[in-house]
Structure 1
């Protein structure tokens, strides 16, 4: 974001009008200096001189908190929502001149239902586009039409929270709507995680069961079956560790043992395997002939995985 003499003047005027509407009016020069301090970190006259000399002056990082602090220094207290509203109203008319990236984002968000801009620290711009139907978000840096220069990208990232709120406001998406979109997106994300988990491990029932049983038999020596202390948490930890390892390291962000289906799978497997271990222990203590621990546990693991995954598929 960058300002010229003209846009410093026009945005300062709208900032003044908004303060007046809120009953927070300041004297003319104080308003100009406060606004200039908020957006470029200088008093108005110094900012104008810099803008005239260089053609423009770049914005400093701006947050709701920094706006509140500058106004607080003038004994004008506002909450974070009011701070964001003041900023949005001040820049609305001049946005294409101030930040073409933000202007394009406003057009993009405003033209799509159930879509909003969010702060996303993993993207170089610090921003992402989220909708209610598709899990996850689209990094703004992936959108070629933005085409922001390096200094603009740095400013967007430094001011990402305020940028997201401002773009949503100017695109007609209020805070309540943004929260609804986020909630719907989270639900879609949960469904996506379950789907990916089912696909990945549904194709790996045999090797995954084998790995689980091998790990269990390292902790529960068949030669000392009579003395087994079979604790659910111990078995669950073994099962979880195997799922964590068996998912591989392919960078698949959606494949998580902690997803709802993964938790159900791990709990069910641990409970059934614990029962099988207890049965094997009881058989050993009764002196009865029992099946091979490996075969019994393998059968339990495979049947348990198939049962949970069949529910997901159906």
Structure 2
């Protein structure tokens, strides 16, 4: 399995799992503490996450929680691009990922200094995305999903969950590789066209996705698969998140996408000690 990503000519080593910190430049993402609406807030959040050990900062300007309202392309660019430019100026060594399903936003963000495209739609919502990523020659995080944020909750019917998700991801990986995309990361899309019980099946079977021969990203942080099952709120879900991040690491995840960097970095270190690895 490939264990590196080419970030602007430098290799990011994934043999030790890396932590990706979530920065939502939105007013409506499901976890309020992840939101930043001013450049100074973004600066402080980035500084804290990087100091706590985040290798990657994931910037999103369009909430993709189930049922989220659509945001115009112009508004998404207006939210994202100034933050990318500011972070590149003040944190030149930080690796920036852009959480977008729009090829034009991806292109402009990379031109502004971003390094990775994180597409929650896996190319489904913009037919130009795969060709754009290939032309930009940047790593691409391919998430499994169906439909849109408004319709995904009704599209969770599978003949065999693990096999279907694996095959759908494999088909898209093949398309990307045919276009010349070299660095692909697979994300199971926890909560996207999956109900809570399906999320746990996928997490338990995460090692099956090593058959894709690409690194695996796990994004379970503070999601409803935790707080609804425990009858708590997203604000109370840090402990549950850490438990599931640990399971993801034990099952082969190479990147953890999280709201709480310090705790995720600690999980990586302790699991490494358990295995005598990193």
TM tier relative to shorter chain: under 0.3
Higher helix share: 1
Decide which structure has greater strand share.
2
TM-score after normalising by structure 2: 0.26
Based on CA coordinates, which of the two structures has the bigger radius of gyration?
1
**TM norm structure 1:** 0.24
